[in-house]
Amino acid sequence: MNSIRKPEEFKFAIFGRIFYTDHLIKELNSRGFPRPIVITSLDEEYIRDKRILTQFGLYGNLERLVERGLAKLYKYENINDIEVLNILKENHCNIALSTSCRNIIKKDIIKYFQNNIFNIHDSFLPDERGGALNTWRILNGIDSVGDTIHYLDEGIDSGNIVLQKKVLINKKRPKPVDYLIAEKENCHNLLSEFLDILINYSEVPSVKQDNNLSFYYPRLFTEINGAINWNWDISSVERFIRGFSNPYPGAYTYYRGKKINIIDAFIDDSIDKDFHPFSNGKIVTIMDNNCVRVIAGRRAMILTEISVDGESMKPGKYLTLRFTLTSKRKELDHAKTYVPTTKAMNEQETNK
């Protein structure tokens, strides 16, 4: 297909930052698009992301790309500030893509782009609107990652769909980091195809979402939402522990009044016993390899890694027999209802 439009016709504004923002900037430059501008929230909004994602190569090097002259960077507490509109006009931006923007982009900016503003969302819409989706996928037993580029409107992930891709997670007991790694490659491919569409179509094609098929999941904050209920069935306990594991701090419980995080655990299929619910949470075996067997959901579970005050260790080096892992009823109730904001999460991060 011969190109209908030229790359130099498009002046991109990118809102937000995530691990695939770097790829988008590099692609725009390598394909001959004008140097994009990037508008993000203040650095304080990304403290937690930087801490937990950098070790897995999932934070990115946006500032380094700016130093190389591949993009211009602006940081604002409120991306909907009138000054942002002025920056868009001064830079002659005529197309925008939101990549995990910290603010909800509102009417004035949407109107400015005259229906030429898009969002990349980490799900196969209309399913999985919202946030913390990799944790929710593990909780709900979903073994795939879907990503969508859609028109951005004033709703929540509700605009018409332009492109979608889905990839299976080929791992027996995947953690959130495994989904993130798969999502990184998936989004790279999706963004490349999106740029192809821009230059090969006079108008970006799309299909309307069926709202009746949508599911919305709220953001989660491990330190509050990650309270383990040892009375759930064992499969639910195992998925819950895995869902809040790497790159996150781990689902938590209490041992002799001390809050600890469980990083890794699996169902002990070698023990075919139906324990009384009174046993749930009991530490019953300190194994030779310093793993620990506990009762969860009336079944046996092996804990292989815990974290105490941020220090990872073998459970047998800290836990002892006779005692019970418990979670406070008040915290269990709060965990189910609490909906965090990124601001609140980063405020707690700075207060550590």
Q: What is the pLDDT of residues 124-168, one digit of tens each?
A: 999 999 988 999 999 999 999 999 999 999 888 999 999 999 999
30 with 55, same domain: the answer is yes
The structural domain count of the chain equals: 2
- What CA–CA distance (Å, rounded) separates 305 from 29? 44
Query: Would 96 be classed as within a structural domain?
Result: yes
Query: Would 162 be classed as within a structural domain?
Result: yes
Tokens 């306990």: give the residue.
237
- What CA–CA distance (Å, rounded) separates 110 from 106? 6
Query: Would 1 be classed as within a structural domain?
Result: no
Query: Would 242 be classed as within a structural domain?
Result: yes
93 with 192, same domain: the answer is yes
- What CA–CA distance (Å, rounded) separates 283 from 231? 14
Question: pLDDT digits over 34-92, tens only?
Answer: 999 999 999 999 999 999 999 999 999 999 999 999 999 999 999 999 999 999 999 99
Cβ(53)–Cβ(30) under 8 Å? no
208 with 244, same domain: the answer is no
295 with 204, same domain: the answer is no
142 with 236, same domain: the answer is no
227 with 203, same domain: the answer is no
DSSP assignment of 208-228: ---GGG--EE----HHHHTB-
Query: Would 97 be classed as within a structural domain?
Result: yes
Q: Final residue of a domain: which of 217, 238, 269? A: 217
CATH number of the structural domain spanning residue 158? 3.40.50.170
Question: What is the domain range of residue 116?
Answer: 7-217
CATH number of the structural domain spanning residue 262? 3.40.50.12230
202 with 240, same domain: the answer is no
Question: pLDDT digits over 3-41, tens only?
Answer: 889 999 999 999 999 999 999 999 999 999 999 999 999
Say yes or no to pLDDT of 241 above 70. Answer: yes
297 with 185, same domain: the answer is no
191 with 309, same domain: the answer is no
Say yes or no to pLDDT of 349 above 90. Answer: no
Nearest partner of 21 among 136, 93, 122, judged by Cα: 122
Query: Would 64 be classed as within a structural domain?
Result: yes
Whole-model pTM? 0.93
228 with 100, same domain: the answer is no
Q: What angle do CA 51, 328, 219 make, to 5 degrees?
A: 40
Query: Would 43 be classed as within a structural domain?
Result: yes
Q: Final residue of a domain: which of 186, 217, 248? A: 217
Q: Final residue of a domain: which of 217, 239, 260? A: 217
Cβ(120)–Cβ(99) under 8 Å? yes
192 with 231, same domain: the answer is no
307 with 322, same domain: the answer is yes
Question: pLDDT digits over 248-305, tens only?
Answer: 999 999 999 999 999 999 999 999 999 999 999 999 999 999 999 999 999 999 999 9
Query: Would 2 be classed as within a structural domain?
Result: no
